[in-house]
Every structure is written in C-alpha cells, then in structure tokens.
C-alpha cells in the first residue's frame, strides 16, 4: 500500500489561537497521546515571542517535556536565530521557519517583509545544517490572504524556491485562512511540482469553509504525499482574521486511507487523543 505522511501540528497551530491558554501539563499529555497514536512527525511548539503569541510562552518546558525517541521527528516553529538557538540548546529534530507569499501578512505576522524574513532565516539555516537537524519552511497565504485577497501561484512559488535555496528540505504550502478552492490548489501544485521535487512539498490546509479535503485531493493528484493537520481540527492563526481550525487529523487520515494510502496511525488511539483534545478547548 502506498504511504502518505501526516504532520501533526495540533500542539502548535492548534493551540496557538486558543483564548484560554492551555496549561503546560495538558499540552504534554496531548503530545504523549499523539505519540501513542503513532505520529512520527509532531510540531510540538513555537519558539516565537511570548509577547506576540502568549499561548506558546511555555515553549522551553514543552520541548523539554517531549523526550526524543527513535523514529520521532519533533519539530518547532522558529521565526529567527534566537528561537533556533533556544530550541537547539534543548534538542530537536526539525526547525520550521515561516514566511508568507503575501507582504501584508508577513508584516502582520512576523513584523517584517518577505525579503527580510528570508534574511532572518539565513542564520537559522546555518544552525540547522551545523547541528544536523532538518529545516522545514512554510509559505503562508500561498493561495489566499485575509488582507490582499487572491495570491498569484507564481508569487507563492517564488517564496517556496527561495526557501529551498536557503536549505529547506521540505516546504509546506499553506492555505492559512481556508479559503482556497481546489482549482486554485491544482494551479499552485502544478507550478510547484514542475519546479520542485514532489517529495520536498507538503500541504497545510485550514478548513474554514469545508474545502480542505477537496484541496487534499487536488494535491494528491499532483503527487503530494505530505499533509499537515491538527487533532480535532483545532486552531487558527492569531494574525489571520478568519483562520478557523486546521484540517482535522481524523478526517485527513480517514480520507487518505479510503484513497488507498497507509498513514501508519492507530485509529482507536487517534479517537482517544481526539476526545482528549476536544475537552481541552471545550
């Protein structure tokens, strides 16, 4: 059976937008249950400014509390060298930098232009290479932006190529506000896969308008096999008005398995972590 990889982003993208900050022990229990469900790719927290995203202010404790284990890739979001240094001092398998295909969104989310963000990522990329850890790059608003509207696929590709040049081994193209339609995703995937190897690309869909699974389908047709999702469909971005939950992991896993892809996840344990995640934010 062919395989598809799910990158679980619930502990980070899922919890960063919750009004009530989820207590650290509950976050660690969520991560423990996710590991038990069989995830090998887990985005556990974000080493961002606690002034900007207080929900991730316990990043050091969360990463310290998530022990390494064989086959597990613990990833953390980092906006700059400072975040990378803090995470590497604890130990991590992947750093994920994030910028945008929209200038306005970059400014609102990380307080700099796209070009400046790429400059900021240079020392992060050097650190990742020096420490032998993976480097992932996100392109937010790769299809639609809450401030600028529709984004040209060429603009998203331009940023994806810049991230690849920087050394990102995987680039996640994100529909940050869940407004993309499958025709738009298809157009983006067509040009992205003509310029970059499919195994370097991932898709990150939010499900605000219920289009996420159609968009997964469009990406699958174009050869994408890595998808981000959040348990119980938690989440959203505090700087993207209208960004509701991420694509729910159970919906994604069920969809992929029906489409003939193995995800390696244990469905009973996934249900159990889903129930736990729901009551965390109830």
Residue with Cβ nearer ligand HMG (83 or 233): 83
Of the residues 13, 43, 170, 207, which one makes contact with Mg ion according to CB under 5 A: 13
Say whether residue 237 binds ligand HMG (CB under 6 A): yes
The rounded distance, in Å, linking the Cα atoms of 40 and 43 is 10
Residue 151's alpha-carbon distances to 71, 127, 144, 230, 240, in angstroms, are 37, 31, 5, 24, 15
From Mg ion, ligand HMG, none, interface partner of 26 (C-beta below 5 to 8 A by class): none
Neighbours of 194 (CB within 10 A): 9
Q: What is the DSSP letter of 48?
A: S
Of the residues 6, 28, 44, 53, which one makes contact with ligand HMG according to CB under 6 A: 53
Say whether residue 239 binds ligand HMG (CB under 6 A): yes
Which entry of 145, 168, 203, 237 is annotated as an active-site residue?
A: 237
From ligand HMG, Mg ion, none, interface partner of 230 (C-beta below 5 to 8 A by class): none
From Mg ion, ligand HMG, none, interface partner of 66 (C-beta below 5 to 8 A by class): none
Contact 212, 239 (CB under 8 A): no
Of the residues 14, 39, 47, 76, which one makes contact with ligand HMG according to CB under 6 A: 47
Least spacing, CB of residue 204 vs Mg ion, in Å: 6
Residue 187 exposure: Cα atoms within 13 Å on the Cβ side: 14
145 catalytically annotated: no
Of the residues 52, 217, 267, 272, which one makes contact with ligand HMG according to CB under 6 A: 52
The rounded distance, in Å, linking the Cα atoms of 242 and 20 is 18
Class of residue 69 by CB neighbours under 10 A (exposed 0-12, middle 13-18, buried 19+): exposed
Least spacing, CB of residue 126 vs ligand HMG, in Å: 16
User: How many residues are given for the chain?
Assistant: 282
Q: Give the CA diameter of the chain.
A: 46
Of the residues 10, 11, 83, 146, which one makes contact with ligand HMG according to CB under 6 A: 83
Of the residues 5, 16, 66, 215, which one makes contact with ligand HMG according to CB under 6 A: 16
Tell whether the torsion through CA atoms of 52, 53, 58 and 60 is positive or negative.
Answer: negative
Piece in contact with ligand HMG (CB under 6 A), picked from 43-51, 67-75, 191-199, 274-282: 43-51
Name the residue among 137, 106, 100, 144 with its Cα closest to residue 121.
137
Binding residues vs Mg ion (CB under 5 A): 13
Positions annotated as catalytic residues are 237
Binding residues vs ligand HMG (CB under 6 A): 13, 16, 46-49, 51-53, 79-80, 82-83, 98, 109-111, 138, 140, 174, 176, 204, 237, 239
């Amino acid at each position: 059976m062919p395989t598809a990889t799910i990158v679980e982003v619930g502990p980070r993208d899922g919890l960063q937008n919750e009004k009530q900050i989820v207590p650290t022990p509950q976050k660690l229990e969520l991560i423990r249950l996710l590991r038990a469900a069989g995830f090998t790719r887990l985005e556990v927290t974000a080493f961002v400014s606690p002034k900007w995203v207080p929900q991730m202010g316990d990043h050091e404790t969360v990463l310290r509390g998530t022990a390494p284990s064989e086959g597990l890739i613990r990833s953390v979001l980092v906006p700059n060298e400072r975040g990378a240094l803090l995470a590497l001092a604890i130990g991590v398998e992947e750093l994920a930098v994030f910028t945008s295909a929209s200038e306005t969104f970059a400014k609102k989310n990380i307080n700099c232009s796209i070009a400046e963000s790429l400059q900021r990522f240079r020392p992060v990329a050097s650190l990742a290479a020096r420490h032998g850890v993976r480097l992932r790059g996100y392109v937010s608003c790769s299809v639609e932006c809450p401030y600028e509207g529709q984004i040209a696929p060429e603009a998203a590709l331009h940023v994806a190529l810049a991230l690849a040049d920087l050394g990102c081994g995987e680039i996640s193209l994100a529909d940050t506000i869940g407004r993309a339609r499958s025709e738009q995703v298809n157009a983006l995937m067509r040009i992205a896969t003509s310029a970059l190897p499919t195994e370097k690309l991932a898709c990150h869909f939010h499900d605000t308008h219920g289009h996420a699974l159609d968009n997964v389908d469009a990406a699958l047709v174009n050869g994408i096999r890595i998808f981000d999702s959040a348990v119980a469909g938690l989440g959203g971005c505090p700087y993207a008005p209208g960004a509701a939950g991420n694509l729910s992991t159970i919906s994604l896993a069920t969809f992929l398995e029906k489409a003939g892809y193995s995800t390696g996840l244990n469905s009973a344990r996934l249900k159990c972590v889903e129930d736990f995640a729901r009551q965390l934010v109830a």
